[in-house]
Each structure stands twice: as structure tokens, then as C-alpha cells.
């Protein structure tokens, strides 16, 4: 079988990577070429992405591929959702993009609901209400008389903004746009009423582009900076979860997925949006997927809790953290990982401690107790969300596939199987990059369908594990305790 090489630019909320991928003999091989921070700058009371630094790091990664002398066929870009950059009449960046964790959108949904009811907004978009969704960011900027928004010729989501800097072409990739809460998932187009509410129109964004379409080729400037030729940049599922779900090694529809990383995203893949009174009540989202599919899912706070605790502790590896947790008493302290107090506290350990005290539980006192509290609480939250999914899914859910960095967390995966009562099967910890690459491979003609993509992904997995539920009665009692201390605080 022919060898095909691709470059995946994969940006997460804390770090980014440029990856060299090779497909050959029905398998995928990934090599991380360049890893870098995705810097957040705190300045004048706001949190911004250092977008020029991110772009510079992408250029450096592509240059390292050129230095290898490897001929790549395409480049794909995926990033986190909702955030965007604004460009002026002359094509220049107008200001650093706000980070979705910036507090300027606290209370923003309620402001918008004064002009469009919450239920109406949900029925139009099928997107769960989260204060950092693009619709609320844009409404906040408009209410605050943002000079950059007033001067903006184009608004481009982060992966589209990077693609523009690489190719000179301004597009809007569908899966990333679907996170904005401004797209009708039935038509896959902008909702005119929502745009009008924000004082915007479809022309303020790039041309709607589907995963698998070519965006353009590297500009002469980027060719000079990287040493690459006129390489095509291909639209992948540029929302990182869209790429990750594309790489779930599902064999049938009786499965749910959990993309486990800084955020946990749990859902099902559907051919149609699921928008109903029940999905509204449960605050489920309908985001765009590849090949016209819909990702019916719920955002859950993930390893953000642990990542924010770690700087407050002595330096320890993940293995050491897990070992310390395994020695501690089970279910001593439980939290709702999605409580508002954990969104971006100055001290995560203090936030967890205060939650436990407020709910009449002993506060964690050691690193192991904190880690065990986080893992067990996440697993029990996953059960809560699986039960919600069962109310929405048209088919039975018989197994859960875990992808992303959490696929390697054996303690959390076993806790999850115990909590949800069905087998947990792990996919790749590199699912986002794999999904990115596979859409490029589809564009290049290496594979033709989702089924062929997932068959290649399954054949490439050599470390997949299956976790069977254990200690059913013990975890059932723990779930009752979790519900009793569940707070939105």
C-alpha cells in the first residue's frame, strides 16, 4: 500500500502540537514533531490568547517537518471551540482573541435572554447554554461597545484564523462554527434571527466549509518561513472534539463516547439533531460532526480540576498521584465537578475544600484524598450524564468508548466502568490528532467512508483496554451519596 504523509496542527486549551502522520498498510502512525504552550495573557482585567505566539509556534513546527525532507500531502488544523479572532478591512488582526475563561461573559446569557428567550435560542440551535459560547461573547462585546468588533470585516474562529494566516483564505469550518450557538443544525447554516440580534450578518464570517474540503495552499510567505511548498490546507473537523469523535473506534451505534481531557465530553453520534423539551431540560448540545453527523453531547469539567490543583502540590508524576489516591478511603469526599465554583478559582484546592465543608463532608487533607475525590466524583458525574443520554438516545447504550488523554488513566477508567455499570473500552489517547489526519486522508482518497476510517483506526490500536464493571452495590451507594451532596454552587 502507498505511503501518505500529513501534518496535523492540534491545539488544546493548554498546549499545542504539530504532528507528522503517516498512513501505510491500513494503519496510522503519529510522530510529535513540535510541542508548545498555548499562552494566555492576563492584561487589563481580561484573559487573552497570545495568538501571534501560537501562529509562530505552528510555523516552527511546520518548518521542522520541512527540515526532515518529508513530502506531506496536506495540513489540517483543529482547536478548542467558541473563541474567535477579528480581522479588519485590511486583513490585519484587530486585537488578541479573548479566552473563553475570561469573566466578561459572567451573567451574559441572562442579558441576551431579555431579547430572545432561552428556550427559543436552544430550539434554534440545539446548543447547551454555557456563558462562554460565542453568541454570548459577541453579545457582550457589542454591549460593551468593543471597538474591534465595530471595525471587524471578518470574524474567524481560532482554527479558521490560523488557516487564514497560512493560506490567505477566509473560511468558516462547519464543526467549529456549530459550537458558537448561532448555527441551525438542521440546515447547517447561520440562523438569521440570532445574527440580527447581534448586529451581524453571514457575510461577517468566512464561507461555510465542510470537513474534507480544501481551504487553500500555503502562501508564498509561509512557504518561505517553513521551507515547505504550496501544500494544501484541508478543512478537517476543526473543533477538536469533532476530530476526536471522528476517531472513536465504534463498531455499531449502541455506544456512547467520552472524550476525556481538560474537558470531558460525553455523548452519542446521531444522524439527526436531538432537540426536544427533554434535551433542553437536560442542557444537551447538538454540535456538528463529520459526514453530516451530529454530536449529541454534554460538556463536563474534566481533568481541569486536577490540572489546577497540581501547581499547589509538591511536584508529582501522574503515576505518583494515582498511587497516592489508591491508598485513600473510598468516597470520603464527593463534589459536583461542574459546579460554578470550579470554573476558574484562584485556588482549586480551596474551592474543593469549601464545597465539601458546605455540603457537610470532610474536606480533603492530603494529595491522595484530593485526587481520589476528583476521580470518583468525575466517574459519578459520568453516570449521571449516561442516565441522561439514555433518556435521549433512540438506541440502547451498551458500552462507553473513552478517548483522549484520559484513555490512559486506568484508575479513572475502572471507576467509570464501576459507576456507569457497562463496559468501558479505551481508544487512542491521540484521538484528536487521528481524527484530524483521517479527514485529510479522506480528502486525499486514502479512505472513502467513516466506516473505512474507523476500520483503519481500530487496526492501528495496540493498547486498547476493556474495563468491566465491579463492586456494583458499593458504587450504587456512592451514587446516592453523590446525589445528596450535588450542588450547583
Greatest CA separation for the chain: 64
Domains of the chain: 4-241 (3.30.420.40), 248-427+448-489 (3.30.420.40)
Beta-strand (E) ranges in 162-223?
171-173, 183-184, 189-190, 207-209, 214-217
Mean pLDDT, the chain, as a whole number? 95
Summarize pLDDT for 143-152 with one digit per residue, the tens: 999 999 999 9
Q: Is the pLDDT of residue 288 over 90?
A: yes
Higher local confidence (pLDDT), 218 or 26: 218
- Find out whether 15 and 8 touch, Cβ atoms under 8 Å: no
Summarize pLDDT for 81-125 with one digit per residue, the tens: 999 999 999 999 999 999 998 999 999 999 999 999 999 999 999
How confident is residue 462, by pLDDT bands cut at 50, 70 and 90?
Answer: confident
Give the SS3 label for residue 50: coil
Please state the rounded mean pLDDT for residues 70-80: 97
Q: Is the pLDDT of residue 333 over 90?
A: yes
- pLDDT of 250 reads 86
Dihedral angle sign, alpha carbons of residues 487, 483, 427, 243: negative
191 an active-site residue? no
Rounded to whole angstroms, how far apart are CA atoms 283 and 241?
18
How confident is residue 489, by pLDDT bands cut at 50, 70 and 90?
Answer: low
- pLDDT of 350 reads 98
Q: Is the pLDDT of residue 269 over 90?
A: yes
Summarize pLDDT for 383-401 with one digit per residue, the tens: 999 999 999 999 999 999 9
Summarize pLDDT for 305-317 with one digit per residue, the tens: 999 999 999 999 9
How confident is residue 261, by pLDDT bands cut at 50, 70 and 90?
Answer: confident
Q: Is the pLDDT of residue 363 over 70?
A: yes
- pLDDT of 70 reads 93
Q: Is the pLDDT of residue 281 over 90?
A: yes
Tell me which of 83, 240, 462, 463 is the catalytic residue: 240
Please state the rounded mean pLDDT for residues 200-205: 98
C-alpha dist (Å) from residue 315 to 13, 307, 318: 21, 12, 10
Please state the rounded mean pLDDT for residues 3-27: 94
- Find out whether 127 and 179 touch, Cβ atoms under 8 Å: yes
- pLDDT of 149 reads 98
Q: What percent of the chain has pLDDT over 90?
A: 90
- pLDDT of 346 reads 94
Q: Is the pLDDT of residue 252 over 90?
A: no
Dihedral angle sign, alpha carbons of residues 371, 376, 380, 382: positive
Alpha helices by DSSP H, listed for 239-365, are: 240-246, 277-282, 304-309, 318-326, 348-358
How confident is residue 1, by pLDDT bands cut at 50, 70 and 90?
Answer: low
**How do 255-260 and 399-403 pair as beta strands?**
parallel
Summarize pLDDT for 411-426 with one digit per residue, the tens: 999 999 999 999 999 9
- pLDDT of 405 reads 87
Q: Is the pLDDT of residue 13 over 90?
A: no
Rounded to whole angstroms, how far apart are CA atoms 456 and 463?
15
Q: Is the pLDDT of residue 461 over 90?
A: no
Amino acid at each position: 500500500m502507498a505511503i501518505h504523509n500529513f501534518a496535523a496542527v492540534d491545539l488544546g486549551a493548554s498546549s499545542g502540537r504539530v504532528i507528522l502522520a503517516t498512513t501505510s498498510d491500513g494503519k496510522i502512525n503519529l510522530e510529535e514533531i513540535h510541542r508548545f504552550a498555548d499562552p494566555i495573557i492576563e492584561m487589563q482585567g481580561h484573559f487573552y490568547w497570545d495568538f501571534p505566539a501560537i501562529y509562530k509556534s505552528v510555523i516552527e513546527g511546520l518548518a521542522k517537518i520541512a527540515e526532515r525532507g518529508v513530502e506531506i500531502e496536506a495540513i489540517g488544523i483543529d482547536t478548542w471551540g467558541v473563541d474567535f479572532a477579528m480581522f479588519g478591512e485590511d486583513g490585519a488582526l484587530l486585537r488578541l482573541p479573548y479566552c473563553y475563561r475570561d469573566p466578561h461573559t459572567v451573567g451574559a446569557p441572562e442579558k441576551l435572554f431579555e431579547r430572545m428567550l432561552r428556550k427559543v435560542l436552544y430550539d434554534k440551535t440545539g446548543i447547551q447554554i454555557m456563558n462562554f459560547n460565542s453568541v454570548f461573547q459577541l453579545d457582550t462585546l457589542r454591549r460593551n461597545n468593543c471597538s474591534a468588533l465595530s471595525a471587524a470585516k471578518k470574524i474567524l474562529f481560532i482554527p479558521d484564523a490560523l488557516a487564514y494566516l497560512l493560506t490567505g483564505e477566509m473560511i468558516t469550518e462547519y464543526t467549529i462554527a456549530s459550537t458558537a450557538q448561532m448555527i441551525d443544525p438542521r440546515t447547517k447554516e447561520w440562523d438569521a434571527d440570532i445574527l440580527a440580534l447581534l448586529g451581524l450578518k453571514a457575510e461577517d464570517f468566512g464561507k461555510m466549509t465542510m470537513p474534507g474540503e480544501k481551504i487553500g495552499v500555503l502562501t508564498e510567505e509561509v512557504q518561505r518561513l517553513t521551507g515547505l511548498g504550496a501544500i494544501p490546507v484541508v478543512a478537517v473537523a476543526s473543533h477538536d472534539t469533532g476530530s476526536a469523535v471522528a476517531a472513536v473506534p465504534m463498531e455499531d451505534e449502541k455506544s456512547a463516547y467520552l472524550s476525556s481531557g481538560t474537558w470531558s465530553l460525553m455523548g452519542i453520534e446521531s444522524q439527526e439533531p436531538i432537540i426536544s423539551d427533554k434535551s433542553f431540560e437536560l442542557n444537551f448540545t447538538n454540535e456538528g460532526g463529520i459526514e453530516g453527523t451530529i454530536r449529541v453531547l454534554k460538556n463536563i469539567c474534566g481533568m481541569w480540576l486536577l490540572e489546577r490543583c497540581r501547581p499547589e502540590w509538591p511536584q508529582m508524576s501522574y503515576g505518583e498521584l494515582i498511587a497516592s489516591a489508591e491508598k485513600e478511603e473510598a468516597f470520603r469526599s464527593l463534589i459536583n465537578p461542574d459546579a460554578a465554583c470550579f470554573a476558574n478559582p484562584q485556588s482549586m484546592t480551596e474551592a474543593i475544600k469549601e464545597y465539601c465543608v458546605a455540603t457537610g463532608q470532610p474536606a480533603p487533607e492530603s494529595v491522595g484524598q484530593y485526587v481520589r475525590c476528583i476521580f470518583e466524583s468525575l466517574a459519578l458525574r459520568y453516570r449521571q450524564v449516561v442516565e441522561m443520554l439514555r433518556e435521549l438516545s433512540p438506541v440502547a447504550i451498551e458500552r462507553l468508548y473513552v478517548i483522549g488523554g484520559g484513555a490512559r488513566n486506568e484508575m479513572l477508567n475502572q471507576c467509570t466502568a464501576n459507576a456507569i455499570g457497562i463496559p468501558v473500552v479505551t481508544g487512542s489517547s491521540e484521538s484528536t490528532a487521528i481524527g484530524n489526519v483521517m479527514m485529510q486522508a479522506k480528502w486525499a482518497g486514502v479512505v472513502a467512508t467513516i466506516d473505512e476510517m474507523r476500520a483503519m483506526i481500530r487496526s492501528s490500536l495496540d493498547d486498547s483496554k476493556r474495563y468491566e464493571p465491579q463492586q456494583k452495590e458499593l458504587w450504587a451507594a456512592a451514587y446516592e451519596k453523590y446525589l445528596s451532596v450535588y450542588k450547583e454552587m
